[in-house]
Structure 1
């Protein structure tokens, strides 16, 4: 018998969705389309390749000057990645890649995003008994797109979506971005501000290293992210397959995470019953 879950927080990309959705966002930006005729930015591949090049170089240089022997050392590295994320976002802003998009277009684009099996049904079922206790915590760039993706779920609104976002003037994007969630440590600081009702527990569902520091009572990882698995092995975090041995003491502070293949598995475990 599980203790009642009083707070459910989930990552979005590759946790609720089947794949990363940034390309879905870019697809709605006029200046990134084939129809762009004048003063067009470079193709999106330019930004992606440069981001990963800078990320790789940053991690290499960081490792040369900072010892990485403990989980706390690894968290410092994750925090330092803010510089890489900021440069990437600034580059996109400078080229005005995201200018001229309307919120309703992003909402419609979100509706076509493919979700992991069971995601909608499990979150719906949880919210029926626990209204106002579910949040999406994401490094994504569009709250409107996330809202469109989750529009089938009653009770979902922008208040529960915590992420970066496009800036708007008169219902059209300016090309700027708000910064709220750049790194894993940003997620941790935001998570600490959530309230967990007495005699209930918190659950966090994620899929990557960006979700590793989240110190919920129960941490669930979705899928088989190789980089996350490698980090868990390196820092002595046990990955338990399935949810059969969950207890309130199975938090990351106790070096345990639970791996599932999809939301159906979470639903069938009885965790939210």
Structure 2
């Protein structure tokens, strides 16, 4: 009989946090340049100053939308496998966006400690850290039980700063993209591109150890998390992402609203992939279910 969760993997942005926080890295870099008198909001045309961050955000979403539209016109999407191919194809959009940011040297000159402190200021969902702390504290002395953060965010140091004070987690268990640092521990404006798509997340999740006699749980909020949620013994959707719900409906993936009274609807001993996901509106529901106790 399965009695415990031996592997807990969580997305970060909009799962643990109230909103996406990748922009917080840029906010820090832009603010620091302005404070040093290097660039101000009126310096957009200067060669040494990158365009406003809104330029990169708008261009990214425009290219992503166009890519999905073009892909749909040339690739029929009638199965979950077809959808996974779309997710994998988005890698080129992510790389193009990151390389554009690198070209303009947007994220250079940030000290590692500044990223950590920026992480402390990120607003998190109610009860998120309480739930993660319960799990990490219970399994702190048992190396067979693991908590990981798996994210497409751009700074492991910022994510660590967001969680370190309240959750027992080491930097090695934060799996994400990351900034490259120079010899003075400041960012060089270059990104380590390691977690770009939902398929990257799945490949990483697949390598994590699930101790014998335990189950795995993945908590996420978006389409990027779908492969991992379906791969885990229990996949939990945080909130009401419209795109994710659309794809679940399209591919016959049942969404079970609520966790406390519905935990017995999945055979926890089954190692086969599930086509059922739980949906919660907040971390309090996970806390009350005692799933991670």
TM-score, normalised to structure 1, is 0.95
Choose which of 151, 154, 157 in structure 1 pairs with 2:170: 157
Structure 1: runs of 5+ lacking an equivalent: none
Query: Which residue of 262, 265, 268 corresponds with 1:245?
Result: 262
Q: In 2 relative to 1, CA 256–111 (structure 1 residues): closer, same or farther, beyond 3 Å?
A: same
Tell me how far apart the structure 2 counterparts of residues 68 and 151 of structure 1 sit (CA, whole Å).
41
Contact 2:116 2:160 in 1 (8 A): yes
**Are 2:104 and 1:71 equivalent residues in the alignment?**
no
C-alpha deviations, 1:48-75, integer Å up to 9, x for none? 1100110011111111111100000000
2:279 to 239, 259, 262: 259
Aligned to 2:110, the other structure's residue is in SS state: coil
Q: Which residue does 1:207 correspond to in 2?
A: 221
1:52 to 38, 54, 61: 61
Comparing 121-130 with 93-102, greater Cα deviation is found at: 121-130
1:184 is matched with which residue: 187, 198, 206?
198
Matching of residues 16-95 of structure 1 within 5 Å: 16-30=16-30, 34=34, 35-37=37-39, 39-95=48-104
Q: CA deviation at 1:245?
A: 2.1
Cα offset, 1:3, TM superposition: 2.9
List runs of 5+ in structure 2 lacking aligned partners. 40-45
* CA deviation map 1:134-174 (0-9, x unaligned): 00000000000000000223531211100000000121100
Could you tell me how far 1:202 is from its partner in structure 2? 0.2
**What is the root-mean-square deviation of aligned Cα atoms in Å?**
1.8
Check 1:22–1:192 CA distance in 2 against 1; reply closer, same or farther (3 A cut).
Answer: same
Could you tell me which of 219, 223, 247 is aligned with 2:239? 223
In the alignment, what sits opposite 2:42?
none
Residue aligned with 1:16, SS: coil
Which deviates more, 225-234 or 145-154?
Answer: 145-154
How many residue pairs were aligned?
273
Corresponding residue for residue 108 of structure 1: 117
Q: Deviations over 1:76-132 (max 9, x none)?
A: 000000000000000000000000000000000000101111111111111122235
Contact 1:110 1:146 (C-alpha < 8 Å) held by counterparts:
yes
Instruction: Please give the secondary structure, in 1, of the residue aligned with 2:20.
Output: coil
